[in-house]
Amino acid sequence: MRLVDRSRPTASRGRVISPFRTLTTLVWMPAAPGRWPLVVFAHGFDVGPQTYVSLLETWAAHGYVVAAPEFPLTDPAVAGSNLDENDISNQPTDLRFVTDSLVAPTSPVAGHIDPAQVAVAGHSDGAESALAASLTPAPAGERRYRAVIVMSGQPVPGLGAMTNPPILVTQGDADTINAPAWGLQTWQQATPPKYFLDIHGGGHLQPLQAGSTWLPGIEAATMAFLDAYVAADKPPSGIAAAVSTAPLLSLQSG
């Protein structure tokens, strides 16, 4: 879906690339009819949504509409020579725009989404974007995100204790891009209910890629978290149960 925010420009290194922000968004939906919870996913820097397709398709097959925008200046396939990591400050607003666009009455997918059951998730810089979006008060008349998943992320700069929705932080303890201590700090700053999924031996990106040793357990844990706090049709105890049978994963909760 080609979504265009006409209220904000796209600018890289002080140069306006476009008077608008275009957010081409990949959307996966369960095959069965009905209204489903929505998860809006933010990719990391210098990659795009396709990097995470196995995880996102698994969420959709489990019973979620999953939407993953291509950010205009951090997805290299879109940005080209304009690739600019500083644009992540604009991405929390992008996530809210995508959310609002998909649930709007004029959206072609609105009939498949339960607008009262929406979560936000992300990886790396996208995880920071998702966390910031979940902490930002929802605009008047709109619902707050019900949960947030922060994957190999870090705390929002300048923020102390957080007032967050239910949060799941996933972190590889061999991550050389975002220090494992950052993920742990994000979890420590959060308010309950909060969960920290430690990925033993996992680096920054490879645990989320198709065929990785860790991915089935990560999928099971994230789906149990979404079921408990977004769809709200399963107990939170399912999160620990999912991790207990997964190799190379351990869970802390608070």
Q: How do residues 195-217 score in pLDDT, each as one tens digit?
A: 999 999 999 999 999 999 999 99
CATH for 206:
3.40.50.1820
At residue 161 the predicted structure's pLDDT band, cuts being 50, 70 and 90, is low
Mean pLDDT of 14-24: 97
**pLDDT tens across 206-246, in order?**
999 999 999 999 999 999 999 999 999 999 999 999 999 99
140 pLDDT higher than 90: no
Cα distance between residue 38 and residue 60, in whole Å: 9
Helix or strand run (H / E) with residue 242: helix 237-244
118 pLDDT higher than 60: yes
pLDDT of residue 160: 54
Mean pLDDT of 14-39: 97
Higher pLDDT, 55 or 141: 55
40 pLDDT higher than 90: yes
State if pTM tops 0.75.
Answer: yes
Q: Which two tokens stand for residue 122?
A: 């992300």
Positive or negative torsion for Cα 151, 153, 154, 158: negative
Buried b (16+ CB within 10 A) or exposed e, 124-158: bbbbbbbbbbbbeeeeeeeeebbbbbbbbbbbbee
**Residue in the structure block whose two tokens are 């947030």:** 148
Cα distance between residue 174 and residue 171, in whole Å: 9
pLDDT of residue 138: 86
Range of the domain at 179: 2-253
pLDDT of residue 143: 85
Specify the number of domains making up the chain.
Answer: 1
Mean pLDDT of 157-185: 90
Higher pLDDT, 35 or 139: 35
Positive or negative torsion for Cα 210, 188, 135, 103: positive
Residue 102 sits at the vertex; the CA angle it makes with 43 and 195, to the nearest 5 degrees, is 50
Question: Where do the H-state alpha helices sit in 30-179?
Answer: 53-62, 76-79, 91-103, 125-135
Looking at the DSSP bridge assignments, the partners of residue 5 are 21
159 pLDDT higher than 70: no
163 pLDDT higher than 90: no
89 pLDDT higher than 70: yes
